[in-house]
Structure 1
Amino acid sequence: MKRPVALFAGALVASLVTAPPAEAAPATGGVAVTVARFAAPGAATRAYTYDTALIAPGAVVVVVATPTRGGTRALLSVRGLLPDRTYGAHAHQHPCGALPTDAGAHHQHEVDPAQPSVDPAYANPANEIWLDFTTDHRGRATVATTVGWRFADRRAGSVVVHAQRTATEPGKAGTAGPRLGCATVDF
């Protein structure tokens, strides 16, 4: 049963890279899918751009989150961003909103009692969903990660794209610069 979901997600992303449909957010069988075009806060519904120089309105974002045996696989695909540029990206606590801070902090499986979390014991890619990526010469990228846990009573609400690759050193762990864009995902 898990293999057809993975094939579906792969086929969905492949088809969207060439011709994304209207915005969608179907959630079936535990799979969360967001397909959207980034828009300025006044016009956005599921994907917001907060810095139009780094994420242009109309750029495409696809997020697919799939439960796996004992974990969660998350895939992020983008099209229409700046070419040959590295971005940070993470699952955040809340849905996107007009303000970059509306998405809240990073979703953590085990929550750091000290917030904002910059302790690598909590702010790390095993305890959070990190999806950093570098676009190709056409401004496209696809990245995936698998964490060893599933969402339970606390679920993430979005994936936020940041200006820089995610830091890992103590005192800065999990930071990735300003929030450039946000895609609401029904994890």
Structure 2
Amino acid sequence: MRAFSVCVTGVLALASLVSCSGQGTSEPTEDSGKIRHATAAVAFALDSPGAITHLPELVPAGATAKITSSSGGGRSTVTLEVSGLLADRHYGAHAHTKPCGLAATGSGPHFQHQKDPMSPSVDPAYANPQNEIWLDFTTDAQGRASATSTVDWEFTDEAHPASIVVHANHTATEPGKAGTAGDRAACVSVDF
């Protein structure tokens, strides 16, 4: 049985909400010709590749996320808002190259503006918050948090992320571990 999917603009709905990917839009601007917008509002489920929890002990089924993105004019900004997670806990979160899959690794590596020739990328020259979208957060006593990343480059039709992955830990920055943040706890597909 497939999960029921609903998209809501401007409101984070909770009833049977599973995935809202595919909400990318573009509009003309004076600066660069296009501004790309994306919005996804989801509730995580155990078996929905569009908004899946891989570790329900860290991201319970039914926890919610809202992702908004705007890219154009030489900049990109992505905001992640979550609720229903564990209280007072550190999480990592990054933009990834592929949509979510049922397997935790299905979302591919981190999306990088300048791609590291080595994989996995753990070199701080590439795995850093200026070259990737990092959205690390710490939840409050109610399990809510938000994070925003702004970078000085744009998503394009040829090069844009396809998901946001929530990780078990904040992101490491030291050489040999840069960009790592523990297990992939949950994933949201987003049409950036």
When normalised by structure 2's length, the TM-score is 0.85
Matched, 1:148 2:145: no
Q: Is the 8 A contact 2:114 2:126 kept in 1?
A: yes
What letter corresponds to residue 25 of structure 2 in structure 1?
T
The residue number in structure 1 matching 2:167 is 162
Once superposed, which parts of structure 1, at least 4 consecutive aligned residues long, lie more than 3 Å away? 19-23
Query: Which of 72, 84, 97 is matched with 1:93 structurally?
Result: 97
Q: How many residues get paired?
A: 171
Residue 144 of structure 1 aligns to a residue whose secondary structure is strand
Matched, 1:28 2:25: yes
Matched, 1:185 2:169: no
Residue 101 of structure 1 aligns to a residue whose secondary structure is helix
Shift of the alpha carbon at 1:155?
1.6
Q: Is the 8 A contact 2:74 2:152 kept in 1?
A: yes
Give the Cα–Cα distance (whole angstroms) in 2 for the partners of residues 131 and 85 of structure 1. Answer: 14
Give the Cα–Cα distance (whole angstroms) in 2 for the partners of residues 88 and 80 of structure 1. Answer: 16
Matched, 1:52 2:49: no
The residue number in structure 2 matching 1:6 is none
Shift of the alpha carbon at 1:69?
2.4
Residues 72-95 of structure 1: per-residue CA shift (max 9 Å, x gap): 000000010000001000000000
The residue number in structure 1 matching 2:139 is 135
Q: Is the 8 A contact 2:49 2:102 kept in 1?
A: no
Shift of the alpha carbon at 1:24?
2.3
Give the Cα–Cα distance (whole angstroms) in 1 for the partners of residues 165 and 74 of structure 2. Answer: 25
Q: Is the 8 A contact 2:58 2:86 kept in 1?
A: yes
Q: Is the 8 A contact 1:20 1:35 kept in 2?
A: no
Give the Cα–Cα distance (whole angstroms) in 2 for the partners of residues 142 and 87 of structure 1. Answer: 11
Q: Is the 8 A contact 2:113 2:131 kept in 1?
A: yes
Shift of the alpha carbon at 1:178?
0.4
What letter corresponds to residue 124 of structure 1 in structure 2?
N
Matched, 1:110 2:92: no
Give the Cα–Cα distance (whole angstroms) in 1 for the partners of residues 44 and 94 of structure 2. Answer: 17
| Higher fraction of helix | 1
Percent of aligned pairs with the same amino acid? 49
What letter corresponds to residue 164 of structure 1 in structure 2?
N
Residue 138 of structure 1 aligns to a residue whose secondary structure is coil
When normalised by structure 1's length, the TM-score is 0.87
What letter corresponds to residue 95 of structure 2 in structure 1?
A
Shift of the alpha carbon at 1:154?
1.7
Residues 6-47 of structure 1: per-residue CA shift (max 9 Å, x gap): xxxxx93xx42xx44644232223211111110002xx1421
1:5-84 to 2 correspondences below 5 Å: 12=10, 15-16=11-12, 19-20=13-14, 22=17, 23-25=19-21, 26-29=23-26, 30-41=36-47, 44-84=48-88
Q: Is the 8 A contact 2:169 2:182 kept in 1?
A: yes
